[in-house]
A and B are shown apart, each in its own frame.
Chain A
Amino acid sequence: MPPTAATNLGYKPPDGGWGWVVVFASFISIGFSYAFPKSLTIYFKEIQEYFSVSYSEIAWLSSVMLASMYAGGPISSMLVNRYGSRPVVMVGGLLVCTGMALASLGTTIIHLYLCVGVIGGFGLAFNLQPALTIIGTYFQVKRPLANGLAMTGSPVVLSTLAPLNQFLFDSFGWRGSFLILGSIVLNCCVAGALMRPVIKPAQFQPDNDSSMSSRKGSVEAAAENVGSQSAENSKNRSTGQSFVSRYIDISLFTHRGFLIYLIGNVVMFFGFFAPVVFLAPYAKHQGTDEYSAALLLSIFALVDMFIRPVTGFLGNSKWVRPRIQYFFSFAVSYNGVCHLLCPLASGYGGLVVYAVFFGLAFGMLSALLFEVLMDLVGAHRFSSAVGLVTIIECGPVLLGPPISGALVDIFGDYKYMYYACGVFMLVPGIFFFIMHYYNYKKLNEEQRQSVVVDLMTSEETVELKISQIKKPCNKTEDGSF
């Protein structure tokens, strides 16, 4: 059975209890992080008229927000490594609220870029990373299920925000809506308050020389900062810690699994979001009316919503969990195939079928996206890993939709864009399959080697102890060994 790297947590996660409350809290945080930028598009038309700007200048608002959210990843990771998830999420909620409240007083479009885009984006980054990280600290056995459930937040919050935003807009115009949205987003602080640092029970493993600190952590850990504990653990873990690597783990770039994930994801994200963005315009291009096109998006969101927990549950099953990387590779390839076949869909019925299959594909991929990263690097280093991954993914995420848009404009037809997106997803999918087969083999070899080494060292320690007992005078001089 291929090993997972997550066993080096150093304690046994609860896998339940308060963990499910934390999953709910993450559900809210992740939901707001992904759904908030998308839901603001309802206000664009009026803001565009108010400030007399072109459509592309307004669309930049979403892009700046998304870019800040991804760029804030490493900072968020550093803060989580030091202070734990709870304070970071609460600060994030406050940031977004402040950003939106300031934006409601805005007089220029630049003001909006700064308040909604930069401040809001950073606030959302401070919500996303900690929410993902804390799941890794609470769950080990049921982690894929927990991740799947938490990621369901995105479509659910989007489906709730969309009609709510419309209602707010009709009642209060864009200024009042921004103000009220700021207060709604403040509920992320409530989610943060629920993210109690996990209580790590005492360890009594003889070869663990951090037993002193962990014993201290048994009762007082509830009141103490988890951050200081993880700092202590990292001190004990390895030597040669520089200032930066105490906050964020740059040694990840030498980690084989992490590199595979990173390279694959960078290519994949070029074709990830564009089909969602262009689903409704493509439908209208094919001749469907506006309401039916909107209905397609609703079908897509509904299917997405249901498949995410199901994927989490499947990922947890004993057949899939050891080979979860293959499941992820399958999800990525399936996305690619879906897009490649889309141009064959004819008529509205064909588009509905495509929306259903695309919803399945998108949901599967999203539910597994961070679970496989946790699986590869372990929950300990996950915080740094996700920070590095998001800042590098910033580029493809931002460039993807405009490139697709350019393809549509150049050829005047949507099918080339779908072919391109299909290729962007199928190639990484196949890459993942091959690389993970190789990675699993290597991990198996390494585990066999480390088992052998462990046997040898434990034999040596036993011999040493026997020899020490035979010489009592040495022991009293040296003290405890």
Chain B
Amino acid sequence: MTASLKQLPIQILLIMASCRHISSKTVGPTTPPLVPINPLQMDTRSVVLKGENKAERVELQNPVNLSLECIWTGNQKKQLNITGYWRKDGVEIQDSRVTVNLENQQYKLKQTFSIVNQESLGNYTCVFGNEAELEFILSAPQVGEKRDKPVVSYVGDFVVLTCKMEETKPKPNTWNWYKNNGTHKEEISEATEPHRYLISNDNWKTKLKVKNVSEADSGLYYCGAVYNISTSMSSVELKVITIMEPLKPFLSILVEVVILVAAILIYERSHAKKKETEANGPNSDPKNTQSQGEDNAAEENASVRQRKA
């Protein structure tokens, strides 16, 4: 009994220590380990900051150990020592505060991060005291050409939605399509509904053919380019309308044309009738004078009236 009692505080201490260990692990999922675990590819990105805040986009395809370097040329004060630290997505990374010395009129901050998955991608900011900040935006290759206007299709017809990755960027492993289902994105699988969807992937391009659309198919569709590190998403909007929509302007313009043509022809008919009655009035028998070819005066009158009209 006494032995177990004596062991109890030690056991409690051990449990507390292990709890702390566990809690520290769960607290920092967003904090990448500062020491590389696996032999990953080394890649270096360096940006020079000169008195202005800047941001640089970095696109990564595979998991890497990424070394980010910030160089700041300082300001008027030219302090010998300055505190620098790193932030990820606005939250200060633990144990990243260092003292930076002024060397060759420059301050340097360099750090290596292990970027392996979606969580480790994001915005990394190096901060020099309270003076200057420089941001690195890490992401998977983004889809460049995004269509901002919706694709319009008609009830009963099929529609082809496309996503295209620039060919200068790395080729995706594959493409996935998702439909916005209110709360979450649901993956569109050709296998489950082959009569409705047809997905054709072609390296940098993907096409989703939705057959026999109805108004319920309207909404946002997401295409995801799958890379080793993460999937980069883009969206396309589909709008389904009935044939009635374009039919209304068509019919209204048709009516306008018919009215105008009728008005022009009726005006002309009535105008011509007026002229005929005018010309025929004083010249009661123009045909009698024709054969003689002598009554030039009457002829001249008719032609002059014609020209005046």
Question: A interface vs B, CB < 8 Å?
Answer: 46, 49-50, 52, 90, 101, 104, 170-173, 175-177, 179-180, 182-184, 186-187, 189-190, 193-194, 196, 199, 201-202, 204, 211-212, 215, 218-220, 222-223, 480
Would you give the shortest CB distance from B201 to chain A, in whole angstroms? 14
Check B167 for interface membership: any CB of A closer than 8 A.
no
Asked whether, in the complex, the Cβ of B302 is within 8 Å of the Cβ of A219, the reply is yes
Would you give the shortest CB distance from B267 to chain A, in whole angstroms? 10
Which B residues are CB-close (under 8 A) to A52? 160
User: How far, in angstroms, from A52 to B205 measured CA to CA in the complex?
Assistant: 13
Asked whether, in the complex, the Cβ of A219 is within 8 Å of the Cβ of B249, the reply is no
Known A-B contacts A49-B160, A173-B153; A190 and B260 likewise in contact (beta carbons under 8 Å): yes
Which A residues are CB-close (under 8 A) to B275? 219, 222
Asked whether, in the complex, the Cβ of B253 is within 8 Å of the Cβ of A180, the reply is yes
Which B residues are CB-close (under 8 A) to A170? 149, 152
Question: B interface vs A, CB < 8 Å?
Answer: 149, 151-154, 157, 159-160, 162, 207, 241, 243, 245-247, 249-251, 253-254, 257, 260-261, 264-265, 268, 272, 275-276, 279-280, 286, 290, 293, 296, 299-300, 302-303, 306-307
Asked whether, in the complex, the Cβ of B246 is within 8 Å of the Cβ of A175, the reply is yes
Asked whether, in the complex, the Cβ of B260 is within 8 Å of the Cβ of A193, the reply is yes
User: How far, in angstroms, from A218 to B309 measured CA to CA in the complex?
Assistant: 12
Asked whether, in the complex, the Cβ of A190 is within 8 Å of the Cβ of B306, the reply is no
Per a CB cutoff under 8 Å, which of B154, B246, B276, B299 touches A204?
B299
Which B residues are CB-close (under 8 A) to A201? 303, 306-307
**A–B Cβ pairs within 8 angstroms, 25 of them:** A46-B151, A49-B160, A50-B159, A90-B261, A170-B149, A170-B152, A171-B152, A172-B152, A183-B249, A183-B250, A184-B253, A190-B257, A194-B264, A199-B306, A201-B306, A201-B307, A202-B306, A204-B296, A218-B279, A218-B302, A218-B303, A219-B276, A219-B279, A219-B302, A480-B293
Tell me the dominant secondary structure on chain A's binding face. Answer: helix
Would you give the shortest CB distance from B262 to chain A, in whole angstroms? 9
Which chain A residue shows the least CB distance to B239?
A173
User: How far, in angstroms, from A219 to B153 measured CA to CA in the complex?
Assistant: 56
Would you give the shortest CB distance from B43 to chain A, in whole angstroms? 30
Which chain B residue shows the least CB distance to A93?
B257
Asked whether, in the complex, the Cβ of A175 is within 8 Å of the Cβ of B154, the reply is yes
Known A-B contacts A172-B246, A193-B265; A183 and B306 likewise in contact (beta carbons under 8 Å): no
Asked whether, in the complex, the Cβ of A175 is within 8 Å of the Cβ of B257, the reply is no
Would you give the shortest CB distance from A372 to chain B, in whole angstroms? 29
Which B residues are CB-close (under 8 A) to A220? 276
Which B residues are CB-close (under 8 A) to A215? 286, 290, 299
Per a CB cutoff under 8 Å, which of A176, A182, A212, A223 touches B272?
A223
Asked whether, in the complex, the Cβ of B261 is within 8 Å of the Cβ of A189, the reply is yes
Asked whether, in the complex, the Cβ of A176 is within 8 Å of the Cβ of B246, the reply is yes
Would you give the shortest CB distance from A51 to chain B, in whole angstroms? 9
Which chain B residue shows the least CB distance to A196?
B268
User: Contacts A49-B207, A187-B257 given; 9 further ones with Cβ under 8 A?
Assistant: A175-B246, A176-B245, A176-B246, A177-B246, A180-B253, A190-B264, A196-B268, A204-B296, A212-B290
Which B residues are CB-close (under 8 A) to A180? 246, 249-250, 253
Would you give the shortest CB distance from A475 to chain B, in whole angstroms? 13
- 5 nearest A-B residue pairs (beta carbon): A176-B246, A173-B152, A183-B253, A193-B264, A222-B272
Asked whether, in the complex, the Cβ of B152 is within 8 Å of the Cβ of A189, the reply is no
Which chain B residue shows the least CB distance to A173?
B152
Which chain A residue shows the least CB distance to B290?
A215
**A-B CB contacts (within 8 Å), total count:** 97
User: How far, in angstroms, from A220 to B247 measured CA to CA in the complex?
Assistant: 42
Which B residues are CB-close (under 8 A) to A50? 159-160
User: How far, in angstroms, from A212 to B286 measured CA to CA in the complex?
Assistant: 12
User: How far, in angstroms, from A49 to B210 measured CA to CA in the complex?
Assistant: 13
Which B residues are CB-close (under 8 A) to A176? 152, 154, 241, 243, 245-246
Which B residues are CB-close (under 8 A) to A211? 293
Asked whether, in the complex, the Cβ of B306 is within 8 Å of the Cβ of A219, the reply is yes
Which A residues are CB-close (under 8 A) to B302? 202, 218-219
Known A-B contacts A179-B247, A219-B276, A223-B272; A186 and B257 likewise in contact (beta carbons under 8 Å): yes
User: How far, in angstroms, from A172 to B240 measured CA to CA in the complex?
Assistant: 10
Known A-B contacts A189-B261, A219-B302; A182 and B250 likewise in contact (beta carbons under 8 Å): yes
Would you give the shortest CB distance from B131 to chain A, in whole angstroms? 36
Which A residues are CB-close (under 8 A) to B261? 90, 189-190, 193
User: How far, in angstroms, from A210 to B31 measured CA to CA in the complex?
Assistant: 103
Known A-B contacts A172-B245, A186-B254, A218-B303; A49 and B154 likewise in contact (beta carbons under 8 Å): no
User: How far, in angstroms, from A212 to B296 measured CA to CA in the complex?
Assistant: 13
Would you give the shortest CB distance from B97 to chain A, in whole angstroms? 44
Which chain B residue shows the least CB distance to A221?
B306
User: How far, in angstroms, from A307 to B294 measured CA to CA in the complex?
Assistant: 52
Known A-B contacts A179-B246, A219-B279; A202 and B152 likewise in contact (beta carbons under 8 Å): no
Which chain B residue shows the least CB distance to A25?
B264
Which chain B residue shows the least CB distance to A51?
B160
Asked whether, in the complex, the Cβ of A202 is within 8 Å of the Cβ of B253, the reply is no
Asked whether, in the complex, the Cβ of B154 is within 8 Å of the Cβ of A173, the reply is yes
Which chain B residue shows the least CB distance to A86?
B265
Would you give the shortest CB distance from A179 to chain B, in whole angstroms? 5
User: How far, in angstroms, from A193 to B263 measured CA to CA in the complex?
Assistant: 9
Which chain A residue shows the least CB distance to B262?
A193
Which A residues are CB-close (under 8 A) to B276? 219-220, 222-223
Which chain B residue shows the least CB distance to A199?
B306
User: How far, in angstroms, from A468 to B154 measured CA to CA in the complex?
Assistant: 85
Which chain A residue shows the least CB distance to B151?
A173
Which B residues are CB-close (under 8 A) to A196? 268
Which A residues are CB-close (under 8 A) to B162? 49
Which A residues are CB-close (under 8 A) to B264? 190, 193-194
User: How far, in angstroms, from A481 to B227 measured CA to CA in the complex?
Assistant: 100
Which A residues are CB-close (under 8 A) to B265? 193
Per a CB cutoff under 8 Å, which of A46, A189, A219 touches B257?
A189
Asked whether, in the complex, the Cβ of A202 is within 8 Å of the Cβ of B299, the reply is yes
Would you give the shortest CB distance from A198 to chain B, in whole angstroms? 12
User: How far, in angstroms, from A464 to B79 measured CA to CA in the complex?
Assistant: 123
User: How far, in angstroms, from A337 to B307 measured CA to CA in the complex?
Assistant: 47
User: How far, in angstroms, from A176 to B151 measured CA to CA in the complex?
Assistant: 12
Which B residues are CB-close (under 8 A) to A101? 250
User: How far, in angstroms, from A184 to B251 measured CA to CA in the complex?
Assistant: 11
Would you give the shortest CB distance from B295 to chain A, in whole angstroms? 11
**Residue among B247, B257, B268 having the largest count of chain A Cβ atoms under 10 Å:** B257
Which A residues are CB-close (under 8 A) to B299? 202, 204, 215
Which A residues are CB-close (under 8 A) to B253? 180, 183-184, 186-187
Would you give the shortest CB distance from A89 to chain B, in whole angstroms? 11
